[in-house]
Structure 1
Amino acid sequence: MGSMTAFTRRNVLKGALAAAGAAAVVPAALSTGSTPAHAGVALVRNRLTLPSGIATGDVTADSGVLWSRASGPGRLVAGLLAVDDDGAPLRGGRAFQRVLRGSAASEATDFTSRINAEHLPAGTRFALTLHFEDAEGNAGETAQGSFRTAPGTGLISSGRAARKQSFVWTGDTAGQGWGINEEIGGMRGYAAMHATRPDFFIHSGDTIYADGPIAAQVTEPDGQIWRNLVTEEVSKVAETLNEFRGRHRYNLMDRNVRALYAEVPVIAQWDDHETHNNWYPGEVITDPRYTERRVDVLAARGRQAWQEYQPVSGLSTRIGDGSTGFEPARIYRKISRGPQLDVFCLDMRTFKDPNTDGKETHLTHILGQEQAEWLIREVSKSKATWKVISADLPLGLIVPDGPVNQESLANRDAGAPLGKELEIAGVLSAFKRNRVKNVVWLTADVHYCAAHHYSPERAAFTDFDSFWEFVAGPINAGSFGPGELDGTFGPERVFYKTGAYANQSPRTGENQFFGHVDLNEDDVFTVSLRNANGTVLWNKELQPAR
């Protein structure tokens, strides 16, 4: 159980609205488990609305990104109020109340906007309100949310030890034609993650499926009809910027996604399906569904839409007429979660060399030299007890791209590292050389869940310290698996759970997966793999090495 305990929403909303200076009357919010998509939102006639909800992201001990999208031109306004777990404003030296204004929302950013909130107190819960002001200063629809900054060195407001926190991770949303099925409650896996009350959520990639059209109906193997909510943009592969944006707008139509994002900060990554299956820079695809077949063109549009819709840090907006939108930001980054945990988000797509059989005798790239050097440097100097490396592709699982080529770095050769394996071998060897302890790799991508233990005692390449890799997904896509392991780094499959058959739908939730991590006061790292019904399938306690 994470540090997000129940609190009185009436007090939270009352205090936060006062902080934002909002004039709208807000109806009492319903409980999370049964709220409609617009719950917690005050509807104001003829004012700007929030058609995609609200979100927070990349929350550290003293900062976070606040995000929303408007129905038209406006400026984002946030109210922050520090509260205790009962929703009462903190008093005395712990009191904190602030109003922040963000970037202009315009057509250049599909009316998305963000605020980089800085200089926040650590280990503090905030009641959050977000709304947009139009050109005349009129406040529009107001939405409420909350988040907690990462622990600091003292005690958090509830009096519990500052080091305690939890998080969830998964990947693969709305893939293989399985979209929002309101007959089964929508994307219920998000509700299961939300129910664990995590302090943050890592989306490990495939946040959308730009290359997977969603039809109104799909007939499952047993004859049941899966009924999708459908929009124009998801009815074909995404090629235009608006079609890529429409994929993100679609996922945010789901009430479970919106409820989670309003109360749980996200750390977002991208992988291939934000653009096209298994893509790499410079590729020219032969997919007949596309009129634009230059992947670099599609990836630029996909990246712009992803950056507009994910609450990621490091973005800026040019001031003026707003026509340039958000400036590009580096996707790989470190999110510091206090003395207990650093999260290192990788980008295994932007700098990737072409997909081949992976057996080159020279080094080829999946991270690129600059990112590999950054990863070695930042992990090696991290003072956090645990170093979580969030990768958008697995290390030892073979992920084919056709009959010969490989999508990830594993190459079906259990011998010494070759090709892209050489780059990861260099990273692992540097960790050992620099005496880095307590490294855990997390990923999704392969549409089943698994626990892999890597050891030099089983490996062809031995210059590394043993470590764990945990795999979890999909959260609302087809289930597959299992994959074959490559022996170069000595992986052992300790646990796995797959779909009952290839491309099984999310209907039952039994073969949709996410991972949960609980870090207690003693820095014990407890991992559990769960299905979309919240059932714990497997767990493991990792004791920190000192």
Structure 2
Amino acid sequence: MTPPRVSSPKSVNRRGFLGLAGAAGAGAVLLGAGVAPGAAAMPSRRLTDPFQLGVASGDPLPDSVLLWTRLAPKPLDYDGGMPGRPVAVQWEIALDERFTKVVQRGTETAVPEEAHTVHADVRGLRPHHEYYYRFRVGDEISPAARTRTAPAPGTAPAVDFAFASCSNWEMGYFTAYRHMAEERPDVVFHLGDYLYEYAAGVNGDVRTHIGNEMNTLDEYRQRHAQYKTDADLQLVHSVAPFIVTWDDHETDNNYADLSPENRDPAQGNDTTANFAARRKAAYQAYWEHMPLRRFRKPVDTHLPLYRRFEFGATATFSVLDSRQYRTDQPYGDRWQVSGPDQWDPKATILGDEQHAWLERSLSRSRSAWNVVPQQIYFANWDQVAGNDDGGYNDGWDGYRVSRDRVLGYVEERGIDNFVVLTGDVHSNWTNDLRRDFERPETPLLGSEFVCTSITSNGDGTASTDPGQLVWDENPHTKYYSNRRGYVHCHVSKDRYVADYRVVDYVTRPDAPLRTDRSFAIESGVPGVQPL
């Protein structure tokens, strides 16, 4: 099919935004000419802008950050328009945006087996420090970008970060990403559904996916590339490091471990072996296109994605993966159906190994705040009147023993300042957390901030009332809204402030940003307070 028109990365002047005018031109003589062992030199013919998918950084540590790019002069071709051989890619990182104070340079080998992606793990950097980086292939130099390392252990600077989820290409423009970039956060957490697997035209008509529902490695690579052509997504990647985790749509809607949404032969889901092949392709393409370190490269159907980040004595982030290890959802994943299967002691959403890892992460934390970025609705979500406590069976409601294990550990071990970050549900919510949500007199153990989508479900509505039934059945719920956007957080040792940033429409570009509501948690005092 003829590829649809996509957003041009040239439509946003990233160098102007970052104050990097002239940096690329000045940098040609600064980048070294060395070639990594085993890498082929760039072919003599000149590629046309191999950096059309932008650049990114991720997984910041106090002394390290991961730098990413993919070479793709023809980004919507399966192979990106690249030759079928290795290519040497040079990178450099500097203290200033004009690259007059370069601190490190290196060369990576981009190979066709990894879609000519680069994952440069730069070490030996200063803690909590701003850096600028770029790449070069032959005579072509990438846009320059900003990143930031994590604070050093024992220090306690305030941390500004954003978190987001659910960006569906077909349902709207990624304007919220541009607003997020303008805030220049220290780090961005993306909580899943970075892209959607559906065929062209299934989700909307604002923009159009290319191709059928993703199934093969080529198709997953092409869809990742299409999303990466978006100017606003490129912009936010060029301003802050990302810490990513996936939900379902990076592979298949509502899948659980090796159980697909349905056994559709057209999508390769008719057998477990066929779905495993599909998942393997999805995981490979995800690693290729995300700023993840090389040791996280998937092996067969496994990609180790849960991990821990210490931002000094201010916050420890324990990032979860609630898809790869879970048992199948109860009751066929039906909404608001409850029963004993939700309390099945054999059911798990994290798997025993990840559960034990989370407990170790929480117990070893020496930070003021213990933050758990993850994918799906954590609090009870009851929309059934009376004693039946309903539930969202694709969320933690479907795995109540798993949730009780987490909250029981928080209660019994006295884990302070426990905060859960959530995406998935395409609306904003704020919840206080109790071990028994049906008994509001029991102790508060923490809070949950749920971010809406970047575009999924379109413009949404102006409603801030989910209905009296929700308020009656969920006294732990404090806030709801149905617009698109993200959450910005400012965290100090003494206080956690969450601002719900929203745009009123995404079906047209350039929506203004506003703060819909703000909440604070005081250190040592569980429960959110409106500001």
Please classify the TM superposition score into its range, dividing by the shorter chain length: 0.7 to 0.9
Q: Secondary structure at the match of 1:302?
A: helix
Tell whether 2:296 aligns with 1:290: no
Q: Which residue of 2 aligns with 1:394?
A: 377
How far 1:271 sits from its partner (Å)?
A: 0.8
Contact between 1:172 and 1:475, CA under 8 Å: does it hold in 2?
Answer: yes
Give the AA of the match of 2:497. T
Q: Does 1:164 align with 2:158?
A: yes
> Residue 159 of structure 2 contacts residue 186 of structure 2 at CA under 8 Å; is this kept in 1?
yes
The 3-state SS of whatever aligns with 2:304 is coil
Distance 2:346 2:159 in 1: 39
Q: In structure 2, the residue corresponding to 1:308 is in which secondary structure? A: helix
Counterpart of 1:337 (choices 276, 301, 311) is 311
Instruction: Say yes or no: does 1:308 pair with 2:288.
Output: yes
User: 179, 187, 204: which is aligned to 1:192?
Assistant: 179
Note closer, same or farther for the CA distance 1:397–1:243 as it changes in structure 2 (3 Å cut).
farther
What code does the residue aligned with 1:171 have? Answer: S
Q: Does 1:541 align with 2:502?
A: no
Q: Deviations over 1:55-110 (max 9, x none)?
A: 00111221111000013341332111123xxx5779xxxx76110222x2222111
Cα-Cα RMSD? 3.5
Say which SS state the counterpart of residue 248 (structure 1) adopts. Answer: helix
Residue 315 (structure 1) shift:
2.6
Deviation at 1:143, TM superposition (A): 2.3
Stretch deviating more after TM superposition (474-483 or 429-438): 474-483
Equivalent of residue 271 in structure 1, options 247, 250, 259: 247
- The corresponding residue for 2:5 is none
Question: Does residue 205 in structure 1 map to residue 189 in structure 2?
Answer: no
Q: Distance in 1 between matches of 2:202 and 2:447?
A: 40
Distance 1:291 1:433, change over 3 A: closer
Secondary structure at 1:406 match in 2? coil
CA distance in 2, matches of 1:216, 1:298: 20
1:316–1:196 Cα change, 3 Å: closer
**What's the TM-score, normalizing by structure 1?**
0.75
Q: Deviations 1:424-447 (Å, cap 9, x if unpaired)?
A: 211211122222111110011001
Q: Distance between the aligned counterparts of 1:194 and 1:46, measured in 2? A: 29
For the 8 Å contact 1:396–1:491, the answer to whether it is kept is no
What's the CA shift for 1:512?
Answer: 0.9
- The answer on whether the counterparts of 2:268 and 2:278 sit within 8 Å (CA) in structure 1 is no
Match of 2:106 among 97, 100, 109: 100
CA contact (8 A) 2:166 2:456 kept: yes
Structure 2: distance between partners of 1:49 and 1:69: 8
The answer on 1:446 being equivalent to 2:425 is yes
Q: Distance in 1 between matches of 2:131 and 2:142?
A: 16
Distance 1:485 1:298 in 2: 38
- Indicate yes or no: 2:496 matched with 1:517: no
Structure 1 position 336, deviation (Å): 2.2
Instruction: Name 1:372's counterpart in structure 2.
Output: 355
Matches within 5 A, 1:345-494: 345-357=319-331, 358-398=341-381, 406-411=393-398, 420-455=399-434, 459-460=438-439, 465-479=444-458, 492-494=476-478
Q: State the one-letter code of the partner of 1:379.
A: L
- Residue of structure 1 equivalent to 2:509: none
For 2:391 and 2:319, locate their aligned partners in 1 and report how far apart those are by CA, in whole Å: 29
Judged with a 3 Å threshold, the aligned counterparts in structure 2 of structure 1 residues 107 and 455 are, in CA distance, closer, same or farther, namely same
Q: 1:178 touches 1:478 (CA, 8 Å); kept in 2?
A: yes
Go from structure 1 to structure 2 and tell me whether the alpha carbon gap of 1:527 and 1:172 turns closer, same or farther (over 3 Å shift): same
Aligned residue in 2 for 1:528: 499
Evaluate the alpha carbon distance shift between residue 163 and residue 129 of structure 1 in structure 2; reply closer, same or farther with a 3 A threshold: same
Q: What is the alpha-carbon distance in structure 1 between the residues aligned to residue 212 and residue 252 of structure 2?
A: 13
What is the match of residue 497 of structure 1? 481
C-alpha separation in 2, matches of 1:336 and 1:537: 29
Give the conservation status (yes or no) of the 8 Å contact 2:440–2:476: no
Q: CA deviation at 1:164?
A: 2.3
CA distance in 2, matches of 1:288, 1:125: 49
Q: What's the CA shift for 1:519?
A: 2.2
Comparing 479-488 with 425-434, greater Cα deviation is found at 479-488
1:54 and 2:87 are equivalent in the alignment: no
Contact 2:380 2:437 in 1 (8 A): no
Query: What secondary structure is seen at the aligned counterpart in 2 of 1:527?
Result: strand
> Are residues 242 and 523 of structure 1, via their aligned partners in 2, closer, same or farther at CA, if it must alter by over 3 Å?
farther
Unaligned runs of 5+ in 2: 1-16, 35-44, 73-81, 332-340, 384-389, 504-511, 526-531
- Could you say if the C-alpha distance between residues 286 and 217 of structure 1 is closer, same or farther in structure 2, counting changes exceeding 3 Å? closer
| In structure 1, distance between residues paired with 2:201 and 2:477 | 36
**Distance change >3 Å, CA 336–CA 217, structure 1 → 2:** closer
User: 1:159 is matched with which residue?
Assistant: none
User: What count of residue pairs does the alignment treat as equivalent?
Assistant: 455
How far apart, in 1, do the equivalents of 2:350 and 2:518 lie?
30
2-structure distance, mates of 1:405, 1:49: 44
CA contact (8 A) 1:399 1:406 kept: no
Distance 1:297 1:153 in 2: 41
Aligned equivalents of 1:448, 1:80: Cα separation in 2: 38
2:215 to 235, 239, 242: 239
CA distance in 2, matches of 1:298, 1:440: 34
Distance 2:443 2:325 in 1: 24
- AA aligned to 2:65 is G
SS at match of 1:300: helix
- The SS at the match of 1:9 is coil
Residues 1:303 and 1:451: Cα distance change in structure 2 (over 3 Å): same
Counterpart of 1:77? 90
**Shift of the alpha carbon at 1:461?**
10
Give the conservation status (yes or no) of the 8 Å contact 1:57–1:311: yes
* Cα-to-partner distance string for 1:448-486 (whole Å, 9 max, x where unaligned): 111111235854599875211011121022157959879
Alignment CA distance shift 1:529-1:451 (3 Å): same
What is the one-letter code of the residue matched to 2:362? V
The answer to which of 193-202 and 308-317 deviates more is 308-317
Q: Return the offset for 1:251.
A: 0.7
Measure, in 2, the Cα distance between the counterparts of 1:444 and 1:22: 44
* Conserved? CA contact 1:19–1:81, under 8 Å: no
Question: Which of 227, 250, 254 is the equivalent residue of 1:251?
Answer: 227
| Closer/same/farther in 2, CA of residues 206 and 116 from structure 1, 3 Å limit | same
Q: Distance in 1 between matches of 2:308 and 2:379?
A: 23
Counterpart for residue 10 of structure 2 = none
Instruction: Check whether the contact 1:518–1:526 (CA below 8 A) recurs between aligned residues.
Output: yes
